[in-house]
């Protein structure tokens, strides 16, 4: 960012209101104190009562008791969606594109969910409620007719916003389980790269904040893909194709990851990077130990919280959505623990503030 | 003193309520609305409190009521409101209510499910009917081509149909949302590689979505294709885009038969639907009659349990302990309420109210009525007064409209405002009953109706003084000027629309009989002389008058504020502040601003010869420069002026250290003495003292059930440097403010000038044009121009200028007036009252 870069000067003209609003929403994110109260609840009714005193307010007031976790999940998600849609409807120019980018990841998830569901002979009506409302688009539900990726692309996705991400995975092969995972990751890779490049093109604080977050997202995917690929029929060459080529691991780390054979070797790759070494250290599945996944989540939360430190940039919108999502996961986790009377693990949520 | 002068005296009381009587007592107190309970369990989670289950039950009941209310809204049935305010039902009635709501909700839900199913059925049948009709149409369209298929001009569609027998052309028919049609068409074309043929037609009538009840527009479509694989594909796409497929027979005869069947079924269904609708309506009208009362009941119960949750539960003695603030004067009423509550609940043990002493600052409670409410609101908007300090509201009732009027002085505009205020006040009951008007702006205007009335009235008064009515003057008493004495020549008189009036000209003023033989002997009896209306130098004359009167008015108000400070000091027995702060402040303000006002008035009253009028401004500057006043530079006013002025300036200088140092010095001295004394005492008492002190404090804490916050540290115990700094700030602030606030009152002049100039411009630029035209066109133009004038008068002069004058009056009160005595560090008394809870004014 040069000395005479005045990109931020005009930021508030188009986005000031929404940024302020988002920061306001962020202040409503539950804090440690709230979680402490929530974990003390004995029943979901108690949980509802406590959530009433937070910014969630009366969002469960119109639900007949007894409450179920599914209902809470729906309402939480609905709140996020309402807030996001409000932002999206008022967004302008670049911010609109940015918010659309956030939506694309949900679209990818939805498509993959539908294809997998259809492969397993599930009914569409059963699958639809599981789709994330942020990722719903018109032609989405017709993906069930496709037998191959080429089909999928030509018939359905060609005029959806996902089309550009799809160009790498068009083939005439029939869809099957492994295939779908590959498609998901290829799609995601293309999506991340596109999003990353777009943010970089924005320049200024947006690039600074978002490239870090998206870079981490890319690296996390590379790690997870590698770890999950052990013991599957995925070849190393194919695996290497799935790594998003952005972030800190690119290019050296990725080359090394591509050669990895077991968890230890992945860990060795991470050793080279200070922030990733911390994440791999002391992970485990026992009580009191945190899984690698949780560690990644924690790191993500820290980054997203930090993104609010910078002003005049789009990162706050992304971070807000991600923090809200994490919060939903936390509340659901706590609710599940309460509902199933499985309190020993109730503290394994990921605190945000 | 009137109750508005100081806030109500409050006391902290503890209530001991028998468990069984608690509900009835709290219910009675809620109706009374005179106590505000403090939370005795601040550390207990919301869901760990005793009556949380009851609150939850109320929530559930409210939810059911909300559900019913939504249903009412859906059917557009108005809620019946007879103004009833039922008391909170006893806890045992709650079960009845619960059962009643439960039944109603279930009934309603059942009716809804049935209706939904029926409607869905109805929708399907209607869609089916539409398909059959349109399909008939699609097929018939092709018939003419069938006859002459040799012609090359036959449509593609016709040829497709022709081939039907050989290639087994299949088709499906269905209905889809009109908005989805374009993407449907596209997906279909792409997924089937253009091998299907789609025809569609809009359904003209709007259909109702059975689940949401929304009106939706749909289209009928029919798709032709070849082979089973394509059929599969098409069906999947239809499913994906939520199109409903219906079986449609091939031949027109069959279609006709089915159509007839569908028609009869639709008719049957319509009858059933109507019946369900009637039943639903019946149930809902019953609900509409009662729902308001139910809501009130449930909210009251909920509020009671909420309050009970704040109480301390004493399990051993089976009683609840509550702590509350209440006005001391109303203790009798509260005790009556408790007695009544105990009686109603049939409890044998009386509820006890006990006053508790506390160091905590009590809340501020000013009893207002409809009239004083808005004025108190203005004060509270700045800051709620410290407990029992002088409340400026009663004075504001007069000073606020008056200062407003000084800036808004116009008889006509004032009259319009007065009429508006009067309408609001007279039709008050009507507007109050019409609660539906929930626009915030309207609430604000209506809330300030008495203020508007007063502002209108005072503006008429000042308008009368300024002799201005829509910028024109009345000549009631006859002018005191003799213009002929000016000896204008004929040419000047003939050409000019306004002339300079020079008071220096001998004989021009009838006020002095010695200058003018036929002098009336008096100036214009009241307000401005109307002659100024036509004078060129009107503004110069008025400026001098308005500027000086603003300063005099300002000084009067500031002096009044300072006097109120004395009342505060006396009331709080703060003798130190009187001697070391108030007296020097009073001298200071009199010497600086007061002296100026005195010479202004002196000049007005005594100066007869306009030619040698002294300049006050230069005089004032010279005073501070210790330059002796002389007739030569026009600063001489009276003999002995020089001595007086030197004395005044010396007093000002002398007051500064007095204000700055006296109070801290006394505090410092007292502290040292106290420290010496306690040192001695401590030595005498030996070690015992040290043990005693904490025990007593501990006991006191227990009595007050641990809820009272730590007592505020005594003001004396503040750090000395802090006291010194505060004193420095106060002194600097006060002395600078004496100048700046006085200058700030000049806004009275500025706004008044702006207002009269604006209205004059409006008159001459608009109304004058119409009035000065000759008869044929004149009246018509005047009529047209009048509306323009009227709209601008109301829009700009009344609303915009009124708002700006209002704001400036507000500022003068908040800053210039209240800074002299008002601390505003209290917190408002928010009584537990059903009335405000039901009206939704209180958030739980």
> Is A155 close to B190, i.e. CB distance below 8 A?
yes
Q: Which residues of A touch B191 (CB under 8 A)?
A: 142, 145, 151, 155-156
Distance of CA A130 to the CA centre of its chain: 16
Closest in A63, A138, A145 to B183, CB measured:
A138
Q: Under DSSP, is residue B469 helix (H, G, I), strand (E, B) or coil?
A: strand
> Is B239 close to A49, i.e. CB distance below 8 A?
no
Distance of CA B81 to the CA centre of its chain: 26
Q: Under DSSP, is residue B201 helix (H, G, I), strand (E, B) or coil?
A: strand
Does the structure show a pLDDT above 80 at B496? Answer: no
Q: Would you state the pLDDT for residue A246?
A: 87
d(CA B396, CA B403): 10
Most A-contacting residue of B42, B43, B44, B45 (CB-CB within 10 A), to test interface: B45
What distance in Å separates residue A188's CA from the closest CA in chain B?
Answer: 24
Does the structure show a pLDDT above 50 at B201? Answer: yes
Per-residue confidence at B73, pLDDT binned at 50, 70, 90?
Answer: confident
d(CA B716, CA B674): 11
What distance in Å separates residue B307's CA from the closest CA in chain A?
Answer: 16
Q: Which two tokens stand for residue B563?
A: 């006097």
φ, ψ for residue A67 (rounded to 5)? -75, 150
Q: Which two tokens stand for residue B409?
A: 């002085």
Q: Would you state the pLDDT for residue B185?
A: 85
Of A309-323, B195-209, B495-509, B626-640, least confident by mean pLDDT is B495-509
Could you give the C-alpha distances from A227 to A211, A231, A266, in angstroms and in order? 24, 9, 7
Does the structure show a pLDDT above 70 at B713? Answer: no
> Is A37 close to B190, i.e. CB distance below 8 A?
no
Total count of residues recorded for chain B:
844
Of B58-62, B137-141, B421-425, B451-455, least confident by mean pLDDT is B137-141
Q: Which residues of B touch A156 (CB under 8 A)?
A: 187, 190-191
CB–CB of B614/B636 below 8 Å? yes
Q: Which residues of A touch B47 (CB under 8 A)?
A: 41-42, 45-46, 49-50
Q: Buried b / exposed e across B603-625, counting CB within 10 Å, b at 16+?
A: beeeeeeeeeebebeebbebbee
What distance in Å separates residue B189's CA from the closest CA in chain A?
Answer: 8
Angle at B792 between CA B787 and CA B798, to 5 degrees: 125
Q: Which residues contact B308 (CB under 8 A, 6 or more apart)?
A: B22, B23, B26, B50, B51, B320
Check the CA dihedral B57-B61-B66-B67 and report its sign.
positive
Q: What is the pLDDT of residues A89-148, one digit of tens each?
A: 999 888 999 999 999 999 999 988 888 888 888 887 888 888 898 888 877 877 777 777
Q: Would you state the pLDDT for residue B167?
A: 55
Beta bridge partners of B215: B208
Q: Which residues of A touch B302 (CB under 8 A)?
A: none
Give the torsion through C-alpha atoms of A137, A141, A145, A151, to 10 deg: 10
Q: Which residues of A touch B187 (CB under 8 A)?
A: 139, 142, 155-156
Q: Which residues of B touch A37 (CB under 8 A)?
A: 45
What average pLDDT does this structure show over B622-645?
Answer: 82
Per-residue confidence at B415, pLDDT binned at 50, 70, 90?
Answer: very high
Q: Would you state the pLDDT for residue B254?
A: 83
Q: Give the N- to C-terminal CA distance of chain A in Å, as an integer.
A: 30
103-142 of A, contacting B, C-beta below 8 A: 124, 138-142
Q: What is the pLDDT of residues B689-712, one digit of tens each?
A: 444 444 334 444 444 444 444 444
Closest in B56, B180, B240 to A144, CB measured:
B240
Of B45-54, B266-275, B657-666, least confident by mean pLDDT is B45-54
d(CA B165, CA B305): 78
Q: What is the pLDDT of residues B97-126, one digit of tens each?
A: 889 888 988 988 898 888 888 888 888 888
Beta bridge partners of B15: B322, B353
Average model confidence (pLDDT) across chain A: 85
Closest in A41, A61, A144 to B47, CB measured:
A41
Check the CA dihedral B31-B36-B41-B43 and report its sign.
positive
Distance of CA B111 to the CA centre of its chain: 43
Q: Would you state the pLDDT for residue A332?
A: 92
Q: Would you state the pLDDT for residue A287?
A: 62
Q: What is the pLDDT of residues B741-785, one digit of tens each?
A: 999 999 999 999 999 999 999 998 888 888 887 777 878 888 888
Closest in A41, A45, A64 to B56, CB measured:
A45
> Is B233 close to A141, i.e. CB distance below 8 A?
no
> Is A144 close to B60, i.e. CB distance below 8 A?
no
* Burial classification of residue B128, based on how many CB atoms lie within 10 Å of its CB (0-12 exposed, 13-18 middle, 19 or more buried): buried
Per-residue confidence at B214, pLDDT binned at 50, 70, 90?
Answer: confident
Whole-prediction pTM = 0.74
Average model confidence (pLDDT) across chain B: 82
Q: Which residues of B touch A49 (CB under 8 A)?
A: 46-47, 52, 56
Could you give the C-alpha distances from B100 to B67, B221, B297, B331, B444, in angstroms and in order? 14, 49, 13, 39, 40
> Is B59 close to A142, i.e. CB distance below 8 A?
no
Angle at B692 between CA B691 and CA B693, to 5 degrees: 100
What distance in Å separates residue A85's CA from the closest CA in chain B?
Answer: 20
β-pair type (B352-356, B10-18): antiparallel
> Is B60 close to A65, i.e. CB distance below 8 A?
yes
Does the structure show a pLDDT above 80 at B510? Answer: no
Most A-contacting residue of B53, B54, B59 (CB-CB within 10 A), to test interface: B59
What distance in Å separates residue B457's CA from the closest CA in chain A?
Answer: 43
> Is B239 close to A144, i.e. CB distance below 8 A?
yes
Across the beta sheet with B169-177, what order do the strands follow? B197-202, B218-226, B169-177, B244-246
Helical H segments across chain A, by residue range: 11-27, 32-39, 44-52, 69-90, 93-119, 124-127, 149-151, 163-166, 177-202, 204-229, 236-242, 252-259, 263-271, 274-280, 292-307, 315-339
3-state helix, strand, coil in chain B (%, to 5): 65, 10, 30
Closest in B45, B191, B240 to A37, CB measured:
B45
Q: Would you state the pLDDT for residue B150?
A: 41
Tally of CB atoms within 10 A around B718: 12
- Residues of B near A (Cβ–Cβ under 8 Å) read 45-47, 52, 56, 59-60, 62-63, 66-67, 180, 183, 186-187, 190-191, 233, 236-237, 239-242
Could you give the C-alpha distances from B160 to B138, B152, B173, B174, in angstroms and in order? 13, 14, 16, 20
Tally of CB atoms within 10 A around B59: 20
d(CA B508, CA B597): 29
Closest among B179, B167, B260 to B214, alpha carbons compared: B179
What average pLDDT does this structure show over A279-294?
Answer: 75
What average pLDDT does this structure show over B147-158?
Answer: 44
Is the minimum CB–CB distance between A9 and chain B shorter than 8 Å? Answer: no
Is the minimum CB–CB distance between A46 and chain B shorter than 8 Å? Answer: yes
What average pLDDT does this structure show over B133-149?
Answer: 62
Tally of CB atoms within 10 A around B586: 18
What distance in Å separates residue A133's CA from the closest CA in chain B?
Answer: 16
Q: Which residues of A touch B46 (CB under 8 A)?
A: 49-50, 52-53
A84-90, long-range: CB < 8 A, 24+ apart: A84/A134, A84/A321, A86/A21, A87/A18, A87/A21, A87/A22, A87/A317, A90/A17, A90/A18
Q: Would you state the pLDDT for residue A214?
A: 93
* Cβ–Cβ pairs < 8 A, chains A and B: 66
φ, ψ for residue B174 (rounded to 5)? -170, -170
DSSP string across B567-600: HHHHHTT-HHHIIIIIHHHHHHHIIIIIHHHHHH
Per-residue confidence at A164, pLDDT binned at 50, 70, 90?
Answer: confident
> Is B46 close to A49, i.e. CB distance below 8 A?
yes
Percent pLDDT > 90 in chain B is: 20
Q: Which residues of B touch A144 (CB under 8 A)?
A: 236, 239-240
Quick one: DSSP state of residue B6?
A: B
Closest among B372, B437, B316 to B2, alpha carbons compared: B372
Beta bridge partners of B355: B13
* Burial classification of residue A177, based on how many CB atoms lie within 10 Å of its CB (0-12 exposed, 13-18 middle, 19 or more buried): exposed
* B168 backbone φψ class: left, alpha, beta (φ>0; ψ -120 to 50): left
Q: What is the pLDDT of residues A59-79, one digit of tens each?
A: 777 777 778 888 899 889 999
Tally of CB atoms within 10 A around B721: 9
Q: Under DSSP, is residue B516 helix (H, G, I), strand (E, B) or coil?
A: coil
> Which chain B residue has its CA at the smallest distance from A47's CA?
B47
> Is A52 close to B187, i.e. CB distance below 8 A?
no
**Location of structure tokens 């002088």:** B390
> Is B45 close to A40, i.e. CB distance below 8 A?
yes
What distance in Å separates residue A12's CA from the closest CA in chain B?
Answer: 28
Per-residue confidence at B452, pLDDT binned at 50, 70, 90?
Answer: very high
Q: Which residues of A touch B66 (CB under 8 A)?
A: 61-62
Q: Which residues contact B563 (CB under 8 A, 6 or more apart)?
A: none
DSSP string across B724-782: HHHHHHHHHHHHHHHHHHHHHTTHHHHHHHHHHHHHHHHIIIIIHHHHTS-TTTHHHHH
Per-residue confidence at B145, pLDDT binned at 50, 70, 90?
Answer: very low
d(CA B203, CA B130): 7
Q: Which two tokens stand for residue B533?
A: 């209306």
Quick one: DSSP state of residue B715?
A: G
Is the minimum CB–CB distance between A245 and chain B shorter than 8 Å? Answer: no
> Which chain A residue has its CA at the smallest distance from B236's CA?
A145
Does the structure show a pLDDT above 70 at B162? Answer: no
Is the minimum CB–CB distance between A70 and chain B shorter than 8 Å? Answer: no
Most A-contacting residue of B39, B44, B47 (CB-CB within 10 A), to test interface: B47
d(CA B482, CA B511): 10
Q: Which residues of A touch B52 (CB under 8 A)?
A: 49
Is the minimum CB–CB distance between A298 and chain B shorter than 8 Å? Answer: no
Q: Would you state the pLDDT for residue B611?
A: 66
What average pLDDT does this structure show over B63-68?
Answer: 89
């Amino acid at each position: 960012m040069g000395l005479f870069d005045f990109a931020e000067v005009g930021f508030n003209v188009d986005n000031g209101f929404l940024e302020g609003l988002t920061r306001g929403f962020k202040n409503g994110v539950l804090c440690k104190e709230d979680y402490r109260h929530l974990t003390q609840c004995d029943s979901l009714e108690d949980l509802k009562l406590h959530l009433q005193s937070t910014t969630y307010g009366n969002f469960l007031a119109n639900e007949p008791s007894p409450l179920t976790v599914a209902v809470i999940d729906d309402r939480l998600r609905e709140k996020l969606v309402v807030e996001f849609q409000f932002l999206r409807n008022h967004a302008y120019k670049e911010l609109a594109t940015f918010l659309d980018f956030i939506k694309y990841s949900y679209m990818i998830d939805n498509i993959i969910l539908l294809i997998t569901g259809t492969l397993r002979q599930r009914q569409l009506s059963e699958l639809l409620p599981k789709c994330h409302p942020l990722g719903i688009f018109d032609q989405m539900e017709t993906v069930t007719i496709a037998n191959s990726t080429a089909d999928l692309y030509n018939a359905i996705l060609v005029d959806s916003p996902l089309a550009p991400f799809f160009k790498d995975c068009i083939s005439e092969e029939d869809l099957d389980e492994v295939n779908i995972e590959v498609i998901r990751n290829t799609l995601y890779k293309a999506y991340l790269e596109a999003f990353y490049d777009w943010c970089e093109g924005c320049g200024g604080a947006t690039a600074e904040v978002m490239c870090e977050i998206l870079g981490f997202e890319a690296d996390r995917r590379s790690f997870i893909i590698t770890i999950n690929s052990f013991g599957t029929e995925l070849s190393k060459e194919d695996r290497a194709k799935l790594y998003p080529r952005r972030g800190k691991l690119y290019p050296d780390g990725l080359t090394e990851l591509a050669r990895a054979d077991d968890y230890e070797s992945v860990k060795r790759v991470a050793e080279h990077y200070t922030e990733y070494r911390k994440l791999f250290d002391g992970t485990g599945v026992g009580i009191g130990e945190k899984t690698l996944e949780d560690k990644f989540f924690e790191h993500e939360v820290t980054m997203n919280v930090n993104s609010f430190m910078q002003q005049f940039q789009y990162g706050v919108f992304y971070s807000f959505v991600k923090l809200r999502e994490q919060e939903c996961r936390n509340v659901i986790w706590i609710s599940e623990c309460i509902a199933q009377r499985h309190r020993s693990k109730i503290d394994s949520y990921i605190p945000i503030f | 003193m009137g109750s508005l002068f100081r806030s109500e005296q409050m006391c902290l009381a503890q209530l001991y309520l028998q468990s069984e009587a608690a509900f009835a007592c709290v219910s009675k107190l809620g109706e009374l609305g005179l106590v505000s309970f403090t939370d005795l369990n601040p550390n207990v989670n919301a869901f760990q409190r005793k009556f949380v289950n009851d609150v939850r039950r109320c929530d559930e009941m409210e939810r059911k009521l909300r559900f019913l209310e939504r249903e009412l809204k859906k059917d557009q049935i108005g809620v019946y409101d007879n103004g009833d305010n039922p008391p909170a039902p006893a806890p045992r009635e709650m079960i009845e209510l619960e059962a009643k709501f439960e039944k109603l909700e279930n009934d309603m839900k059942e009716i809804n499910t049935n209706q939904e199913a029926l409607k869905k059925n109805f929708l399907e049948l209607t869609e089916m009917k539409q398909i059959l009709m349109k399909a008939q149409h699609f097929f018939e369209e092709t018939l003419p081509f069938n006859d002459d298929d040799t012609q090359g001009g036959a449509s593609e569609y016709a040829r497709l149909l022709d081939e039907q027998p050989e290639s087994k052309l299949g088709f499906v028919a269905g209905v889809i949302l009109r908005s989805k049609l374009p993407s449907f068409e596209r997906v279909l074309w792409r997924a089937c590689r253009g091998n299907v043929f789609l025809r569609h037609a809009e359904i003209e009538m709007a259909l109702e979505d059975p689940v949401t009840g929304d009106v939706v527009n749909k289209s009928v479509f029919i798709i032709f294709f070849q082979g089973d694989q394509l059929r599969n594909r098409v069906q999947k796409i239809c499913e994906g885009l939520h199109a409903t497929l219906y079986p449609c027979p091939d031949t027109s005869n069959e279609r006709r038969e089915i159509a007839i069947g569908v028609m009869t079924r639709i008719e049957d269904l319509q009858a059933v639907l109507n019946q369900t609708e009637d039943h639903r309506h019946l149930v809902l009208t019953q609900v509409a009659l009662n729902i308001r009362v139910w809501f009130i009941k449930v909210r009251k119960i909920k509020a009671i349990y909420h309050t009970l949750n704040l109480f301390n539960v004493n399990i051993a003695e089976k009683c609840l302990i509550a702590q509350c603030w209440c006005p001391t004067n109303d203790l009798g009423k509260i005790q009556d309420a408790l007695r009544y509550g105990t009686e109603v609940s049939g409890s044998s043990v009386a509820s006890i109210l006990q006053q508790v002493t506390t160091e905590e600052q009590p809340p501020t409670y000013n009893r207002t009525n409809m009239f004083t409410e808005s004025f108190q609101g203005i004060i509270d908007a700045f800051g709620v007064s410290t407990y029992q300090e002088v409340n400026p509201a009663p004075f504001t009732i007069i000073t606020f409209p008056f200062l407003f009027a000084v800036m808004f002085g116009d008889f006509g505009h004032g009259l319009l405002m007065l009429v508006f205020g009067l309408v609001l006040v007279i039709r008050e009951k009507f507007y109050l009953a019409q609660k539906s008007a929930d626009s915030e702006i309207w609430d604000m205007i209506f809330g300030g109706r008495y203020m508007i009335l007063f502002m209108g009235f005072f503006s008429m008064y000042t308008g009368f003084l300024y002799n201005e009515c829509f910028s024109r003057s009345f000549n009631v008493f006859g002018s005191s000027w003799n213009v002929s004495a000016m000896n204008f020549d004929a040419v000047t008189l003939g050409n000019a629309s306004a002339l300079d009036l020079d008071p220096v000209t001998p004989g021009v003023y009838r006020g002095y009989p010695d200058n003018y033989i036929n002098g009336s002997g008096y100036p214009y009896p009241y307000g401005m002389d109307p002659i100024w209306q036509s004078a060129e130098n009107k503004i110069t004359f008025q400026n001098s008058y308005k500027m000086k009167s603003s300063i005099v008015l300002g000084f009067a108000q500031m002096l009044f504020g300072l006097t109120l400070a004395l009342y505060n000091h006396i009331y709080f027995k703060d003798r130190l502040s009187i001697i070391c702060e108030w007296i020097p402040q009073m001298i200071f303000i009199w010497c600086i601003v007061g002296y100026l006002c005195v010479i202004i008035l002196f000049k007005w009253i005594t100066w007869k010869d306009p030619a040698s009028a002294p300049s006050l401004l230069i005089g004032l500057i010279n005073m501070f420069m210790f330059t002796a006043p002389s007739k030569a530079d026009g600063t001489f006013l009276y003999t002995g002026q020089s001595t007086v002025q030197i004395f005044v300036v010396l007093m000002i200088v002398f007051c500064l250290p007095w204000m700055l140092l006296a109070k801290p010095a006394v505090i410092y001295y007292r502290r040292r003495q106290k420290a010496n004394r306690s040192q001695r005492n401590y030595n005498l008492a030996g070690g015992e003292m040290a043990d005693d002190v904490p025990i007593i404090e501990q006991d006191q804490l227990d009595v007050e059930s641990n809820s009272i916050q730590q007592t505020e540290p005594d003001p004396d115990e503040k750090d000395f440097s802090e006291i010194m700094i505060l004193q420095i700030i106060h002194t600097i602030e006060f002395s600078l403010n004496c100048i700046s606030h006085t200058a700030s009152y000049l806004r009275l002049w500025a706004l008044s000038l702006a207002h009269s100039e604006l209205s004059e411009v409006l008159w001459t630029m608009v109304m004058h044009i119409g009035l000065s035209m000759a008869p044929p066109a004149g009246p018509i133009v005047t009529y047209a121009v009048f509306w323009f004038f009227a709209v601008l008068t109301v829009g700009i002069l009344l609303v915009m200028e009124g708002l700006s004058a209002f704001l400036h009056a507000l500022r003068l009160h908040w800053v210039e007036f209240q800074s002299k005595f008002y601390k505003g560090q209290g917190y408002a008394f928010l009584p537990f009252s059903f009335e405000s809870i039901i009206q939704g004014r209180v958030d739980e």
